[in-house]
Amino acid sequence: MAIFTGAGVALITPFKADGSVDYDKLCDVIDYQIDNGTDSIIITGTTGEASTMTVEEHVECIRVCVEHVKKRVPVIAGSGSNCTHTAIEITREAQRVGADGALVVTPYYNKATQKGLVEHFTAVAKAVDIPIILYNVPSRTGCNIQPKTAKTLVKTVDNIVGIKEASGDISQVAQLMYETQGDIDLYSGNDDQVLPILSLGGIGVISVLSNVAPRQTHDMVMKYLEGDIVGSREIQLKYLEVINSLFCEVNPIPVKKAMELMGLCGGTLRLPLTEMTSDNTERLKKALRDTGILA
């Protein structure tokens, strides 16, 4: 059974002006998500700036999230690393503090061969009992999970159950679903490709857009899964410029600016991420206003 179906939010991590984690505001944005229909919280992923956190901060964010959610929706912990030992450590800690699953990204910078990916993900998954979702985002990691590699992992490791596909390559996703023959839970990792991936057998999205439009993102997925393809497509296209604006600079720079503009939290980022440019901020404001997200 899937960890979740629908729209899971790739949640931002609010920081105070001094750069420390704002746990009170984190709880506020979690409540905002759940109150507006989000189907799962994905904490400490790329959008959550986990790569700039200490291990202690990383685990504390997961713990606070789990305790605040109180099983209202599944909590999936981003727990990947380019170091297999560190990925195992964080994934074990995620299980210890009560996460319902883990999202494990491909090793970045040092990368890996396909054989290395099999051994990396197998080692992480076998260190825990919770289900694992693979995260394929080669534009950020320089490392691509090939369809046959995903097939090997899902067929040989019981608790590897899903994949967040953010390769942007629809042909590769089609090949992935052919190779796995439906034995993998497929989630879109790109907000502009939700419908194409659902059409290939996807069951949801792990979404940046959900931070600012949780109800709409949920509805886009559920309308499709319930057979209202026209209604789903209308949402996908209506919010396309918002999506494009949310990625006009490196994620999560724009989405944190959007949430600041909406009054949901401060927009503080940790270096090397920096303040959004004024031109792109105006583009983002216009997209948010045109769709009614921002008054």
CB-CB neighbours of 194 under 10 Å? 28
**Residues β-bridged to residue 61:** none
Show the CA angle centred on residue 75, arms to residues 185 and 71, nearest 5°: 115
Q: CA 120, CA 112: separation in Å to the nearest integer? A: 9
Of the candidates 32, 135, 187, 224, the residue annotated as catalytic is 135
Phi, psi dihedral angles at 206 (to 5 degrees): -105, 110
Active site residue 148: no
Distance spanning both ends of the chain, measured CA to CA: 40
Backbone phi, psi, residue 4, to 5°: -155, 160
What is the largest distance, in Å, between two alpha-carbon atoms of the chain? Answer: 51
Q: How many CB atoms lie within 10 A of CB 47?
A: 24
C-alpha radius of gyration, the chain, whole number: 18
Q: Per the structure block, which two tokens stand in for 89?
A: 């450590």
Structure tokens at 61: 């964010």
Give Cβ neighbours of residue 137 (< 8 Å, ≥ 6 apart). 46, 105, 106, 164, 166, 167, 189
Supply angle C-alpha 238, 240, 246, rounded to 5: 130
Active site includes 164?
Answer: yes
CA separation for the pair 208, 173 (Å, rounded): 20
Query: Which residue among 25, 32, 151, 164 is the active-site one?
Result: 164
Residues tagged active-site: 135, 164
